[in-house]
Every structure is written in C-alpha cells, then in structure tokens.
Structure 1
Amino acid sequence: MATTVLLSKGRYRARLAQSAEDIRAAQALRTFAFGIRQPDSDDFDMQCSHILVEDMRSAGQVVCCFRMLTMDHGREIGRSYSAQFYDLSSMEGFGGRMVEIGRFCVHPDLSDPDILRVAWGAMAAYVDQNNVEMLFGCSSFAGTETEQYLDAFAMLKHRHLAPKRWLPRVKAPDVFRFAARLRRRPDAKKAMLRMPPLLRTYLMMGGWVSDHAVVDRHMNTLHVFTGLEIGSIPPARKRLLRAVAG
C-alpha cells in the first residue's frame, strides 16, 4: 500500500495512517503521552483518519499523532467525540465541511518546535485538499484541578470566547463555568505559560472556546471545546501555515 505523505520537512514526515499497525502506533503514543494505564483506544478510532508525524532520523519513530473525523456540514456534529461532552446544537446550522481534531499529542520527552509546525502544516494541507471550513475539538489542560490555570481561564474569558451563534451549552455533569465564575483580570504571562501548546496555537490562528471546561476524570484532564473557522484565520498566519505545508 502506497504511503500517503501530507508533508515532509527536515527530519520529520507527516502521513496518513495506512494500516492497523499504524493506528496501534498512534494509540501507543497516546497512552504514553496521556499517562493512562489502559491502552488509549475507542470506537472513534475506526471512524477517523489518523495523522502520524515520524522522525525519519530515528527509524520512523512516531513523535506526534492526532485523528480527524470529517463531516460535510454541521448537521453531522452530533456524531463527533466532542458531542459527548458539549451541547453543540448551536453549530448544526454550519453549512461547510468540518473536521474534528482529536487525541492530539506529542511525545512528552521531545520539545522540538518543528514537530508542532509539521503537524500544523499537515493539518493545513489536509484542510486545503478537502475544502474544510472549520476545525474543532477538545483542548485539554493536564489534571482536573483548576487553581493553577485560573489566569489561563481568565484570558479565555476576556479574549477568546466563542461567538454567541456557535457557543456550546453545558452537557457534561462536571464542569467549571469559568466565564461565569471568574472576576479576575488575567496575568498575560502566567496565562500563556499555563495554556496548552495546541490551544495556544488555535488561539493565535483566531480560534475560540466554550465558556466552560469539562472535568474529565477518565482522562485526568480539564478540556474546553475549541473551534477555528478557516475563513477567519489572519492572512499572515494562513500564509505561514501554507508555507510550511509547501
């Protein structure tokens, strides 16, 4: 079977998973990166396309992965992973093609920023090739305690809440309603230090979030619903992404 390479830059290559073995490699990295005891797999794995970022100087070691669930329009959003945790009925009227990005992780022992750049470049290539108009998913903070993230949540409240027409409503039983509860002004430096790298990148592109975080004790995370309308990405950022995608 031919390898479907989305992007190759320097030592890293991003490609679509082609086999059950590829998906098992992604699941193994997820299990390690998320620090969970049971293998990280679910029914969505069989419905999604999986992207693997490999280090070609280390025998093709998988250093980053994520999965994508493609929908032709908002009326399909109820079948997304995120819909288990958020009431997304407000987004059912979205008319364009959507992709849910899930289980995004980078090998925790690696800090090369080029890994994230290649992952985003591959995402940009997929978006362009498939006429995608919105990316969305759950962006996770490690752990379930809110105290260390209060500046980050305050910044999300003040600068990055979803437009009212798309704002998800509460569905999960255990949530932190940060937009309603927080009165503090964010310390920008502390906020960005505590902001997960993936979410930070979404926000730089013009992304937005729900007004509450879900407390996911199974995955030991707090997560916010995150959306990014492709048409609203600042032109300079879009050019940068496409330059990476080559």
Structure 2
Amino acid sequence: MGFTRAARYRWRHAASPEDIAAAQALRHRAFRGGDGTERDADAFDAICTHVLVEDLRTGALVCCFRILPLAHGGEIGRSYSAQHYGLSALSAYPGRMIELGRFCVAPGVSDPDVLRVAWGAVARLVEDTGVEMLFGCSSFRGTDALSYADAFAMLKAHHLAPPRWLPQVKAPDVFRFARRLRRAPDVRRALLTMPPLLRSYLAMGGWVSDHAVVDRDLNTLHVFTGLEIGAIPPARARALRALAG
C-alpha cells in the first residue's frame, strides 16, 4: 500500500469491499447527487484497482478514481472508454497503458492538494509499472455544450489528438466541437470552465478527441483524453516524480 502526503491528505489502494462501496458512494454524490446512501457502480469496478484519497485529520474520503492496466493498445477494447469512442487507431499502440476512470472529488472540497495527491498516486503507478500512456474520459458537468464553448474552442485550437491516435465517433449523441465551433477562445473563460483534471492533463501535454460525448445518465459531457508519458515536459515530469515520493 503506497502513500503520498501533501498537507493533510494521503492516498491508498482500496483494500476491502467496504472501501469500494465508499468510493461508489462518493461517485454517486459527485456525478448524480443525493445523500450518500446510493452507489454509482458498474461491471468495470470488478476488473479495476480503486484508489482512495483521504483526509488525514478526519478520515473522510475526499477523492477517488479507478485504474485499468492494459499491456498494450490491443487490449483497449476492454476499457470503459471503448464503449463511447472508436479507438481502433489506439489499438496499434505498442506500450503499456492505464485507463484512469470515474475520477471525482467530494462535493464542496476545493483544496488543490487533493488533486496533487491524486496525481502523486498516478505517478507512483506509472513509475512502478512502466506505463507509457494514460487515457480516460474527462467530464464537464451538465450537458449544455454551448455553455463550455470557450473551453471547447480552446481544445480545438490547441489540444486535439495527433491524427494517428484520433478517436472516432461511436456514441449516438455527441457534440462535434472541432467541426461546429468557428470562434477564437477566450482563454480566461476557457480555463475557468474546464474541469481541473482536464487542465492537469493538458498542462502535461495531453490531448483530446475532436468531439464530446453527451452522457445523460451521468449528466456530463466528456472528451476522450490521452497523455503519452514520454511527452510530459521535463519540469512537469520532475514535479510528478516528487509527488510520487
């Protein structure tokens, strides 16, 4: 069990059915609302490793996510993301991959150290297993795509996937922002409305699909997000290694 501390938080792997149930309850609160008695659960929970970030002072669960290791791109059809995106291009990826999924922070928690500790956990996993690419779905709250027009315009202008890895449309309901938007982004507004997890990916050299999936079940818009470890700028890589401990 690994730990990385920043101020008052630590991460660890889920070690019991109760730990997984707590993560599912937090996911339900974060994605669907409610009083914490309900769970967000699916078939992928059984094949993933779950990571918990806890408040050291109170013991409260403040963040969670799950990871699915893949030996190479040929296994990408096993991923959650493959339900929503055509990932045939990435099936040729030769290196180890990790899908980072269901990432969420407890409602009302805004301490940036929570995200730093979560990235420390990811960095440790990358270091320990030789992963070459992270990927997953980065979610915007709600399904009104035009309310995020500046964020999507910024993604179009600067952060689309390389053509060799570009995900194709698979979901029935999508917002094709790379085709539809013809505006220059207001960078300040774009960054304010962009999910923190996605901002972190992009700061490290991550890229996204050219369309967003409209997920009415979770009341989100999400973009496929990829990050090749070898493309992370050296200063960012050093910071991640420091977080990994």
**TM > 0.5 fold call:** yes
Matches for 1:17-166 after TM superposition, within 5 Å: 17-36=14-33, 39-58=39-58, 60-166=59-165
Structure 2: runs of 5+ lacking an equivalent: none
TM-superposed CA distance for 1:13, in Å, is 1.0
Cα pair 2:153 2:177 within 8 Å, conserved? yes
Cα pair 2:21 2:39 within 8 Å, conserved? no
In 1, distance between residues paired with 2:220 and 2:242?
A: 33
TM-superposed CA distance for 1:110, in Å, is 1.1
TM-superposed CA distance for 1:52, in Å, is 0.2
Matches for 1:154-233 after TM superposition, within 5 Å: 154-233=153-232
Secondary structure (helix, strand or coil) at the match of 2:165 reads: coil
Range moving further from structure 2, 127-136 or 31-40: 31-40
TM-superposed CA distance for 1:8, in Å, is 2.9
Secondary structure (helix, strand or coil) at the match of 2:66 reads: strand
In 2, distance between residues paired with 1:5 and 1:175?
A: 38
In 2, distance between residues paired with 1:217 and 1:10?
A: 36
Q: How many residues align?
A: 242
Write the letter of the residue equivalent to 1:55: D
Q: Give CA-to-partner distance per residue, 1:178-221, whole Å, 9 cap, x none.
A: 00111000000010001000000000000000000000000000
Secondary structure (helix, strand or coil) at the match of 2:120 reads: helix
TM-superposed CA distance for 1:7, in Å, is 1.9
In 1, distance between residues paired with 2:234 and 2:174?
A: 35
Cα pair 1:135 1:229 within 8 Å, conserved? yes
CA RMSD of aligned residues (A): 0.9
> Structure 1 length as normaliser, TM-score?
0.96
In 2, distance between residues paired with 1:124 and 1:33?
A: 24
In 2, distance between residues paired with 1:172 and 1:34?
A: 19
In 2, distance between residues paired with 1:34 and 1:91?
A: 28
Cα pair 1:6 1:126 within 8 Å, conserved? no
TM-superposed CA distance for 1:19, in Å, is 0.9
Cα pair 1:6 1:16 within 8 Å, conserved? no
Residue 5 of structure 2 corresponds to which residue in structure 1? 8
In 2, distance between residues paired with 1:92 and 1:244?
A: 31
In 2, distance between residues paired with 1:36 and 1:103?
A: 15
TM-superposed CA distance for 1:39, in Å, is 2.0
Write the letter of the residue equivalent to 2:66: R
Structure 1: runs of 5+ lacking an equivalent: none
In 2, distance between residues paired with 1:56 and 1:6?
A: 11
TM-superposed CA distance for 1:36, in Å, is 4.3
TM-superposed CA distance for 1:10, in Å, is 3.0
TM-superposed CA distance for 1:225, in Å, is 0.2
> Structure 2 length as normaliser, TM-score?
0.97
Range moving further from structure 2, 33-42 or 111-120: 33-42
In 1, distance between residues paired with 2:208 and 2:69?
A: 20
Write the letter of the residue equivalent to 1:128: E
